Amino acid sequence: MSTSKVLTDCIKSFLSACDVPLEKSTYLETGLFKGDSVQFALDLNFKKIISIDIDKSAIDNANQRFKNEVLNSRVLLVQGDSQEKIKEIFDQSINIIYLDAHNNDVDEETIAPLENEIKFLLDNVNEKQLIIIDDYIKIKNSYLFENNDKSWKSKLSYKKLKEIISYKGLNTFEIFSSSGTNCHLLLTKNKNFRIDKILFLRNLINRFISIKFYYKKNYFRFMFKKLIIFLLPDKVYKILKSMLKRS
């Protein structure tokens, strides 16, 4: 999980706008990994934290890391495919929903649950629930990243994601990390929620940092790669690509 001060403040601002105290709110995430996002939610003082992950070893490790919180039922760890488990776990009392289960190493069928997660949630969330999609920058600008048929980024295109969310009439926000390496897409049916001017300006600065980071670091690499593909015979390019993968 990659978070930022702006994202944290957006979460607090949203809960405040919904008149839901942090210490009485529930956080649900898909994608546990090492449990840093669970720790993030604990540090923010959520009353209840639920994490879904398909990787049993990740669940086992988190059960040890958060042993006390699991015992007192503050943390619930659920093992399974998030696009299915979220249907079992979801209810209207959950306030913040963080989607980060993409890119698991279990199998290709479950590597990109994001599309089904979003479709289910958009049919069921209410105005007091906020959806946060992690790694949105890698969906919006997938051409800047290494991509192949087995990559989670190849399973849900930016165009398709826009189509899924557009017909729902959602209030959307693109929130950038201060490092410029990531951004999140926030979705809510709450039409009255707005980020304040200070948050807006901080996010604008982070957006410019992101442009500098990605388009300077990745865009020229992308163009160079396209130039090589254009100049070299296809057979030669494939041989070079195979050699680089083995090295």
- CATH code for position 190: 3.40.50.150
In a domain, 241, yes or no: no
In a domain, 247, yes or no: no
> pLDDT value at position 215?
58
Exposed/middle/buried for residue 169 (C-beta within 10 Å: 0-12, 13-18, 19+): exposed
> pLDDT value at position 183?
87
What pTM did the predictor assign?
A: 0.81
- Distance, CA of 234 to CA of 130 (rounded, Å): 47
**179-203: b (≥16 Cβ within 10 Å) or e:** ebebbbbbbbbbeebebeeebeebb
Three-class SS string for 80-121?
Answer: CCHHHHHHHHCCCCCCEEEECCCCCCCCHHHCCCHHHHHHHH
Contacts of 38 (CB under 8 A, 6+ apart): 29, 32, 49, 51, 62, 66, 75
> pLDDT value at position 139?
83
In a domain, 238, yes or no: no
Rounded mean pLDDT of 195-218?
A: 78
Most confident of 4-8, 63-67, 203-207: 63-67
In a domain, 246, yes or no: no
Task: Tell me how far the alpha carbon of residue 78 is from its chain's centroid.
Answer: 18
In a domain, 173, yes or no: yes
Q: Which domain holds residue 79?
A: 5-222
How is residue 77 written in tokens? 């760890």
Cβ-contact 24, 43 below 8 angstroms:
no
In a domain, 239, yes or no: no
In a domain, 175, yes or no: yes
Pick the range with the lowest mean pLDDT from 77-81, 183-187, 234-238.
234-238
161: confidence class by pLDDT, cuts 50, 70, 90: confident
Mean pLDDT of the chain, nearest integer? 83
Cβ-contact 153, 134 below 8 angstroms:
no
In a domain, 234, yes or no: no
Rounded mean pLDDT of 59-86?
A: 96
Q: Report how far apart the first and last C-alpha atoms of the chain are (Å, whole number).
A: 30
Counted domains in the chain: 1
> pLDDT value at position 86?
96
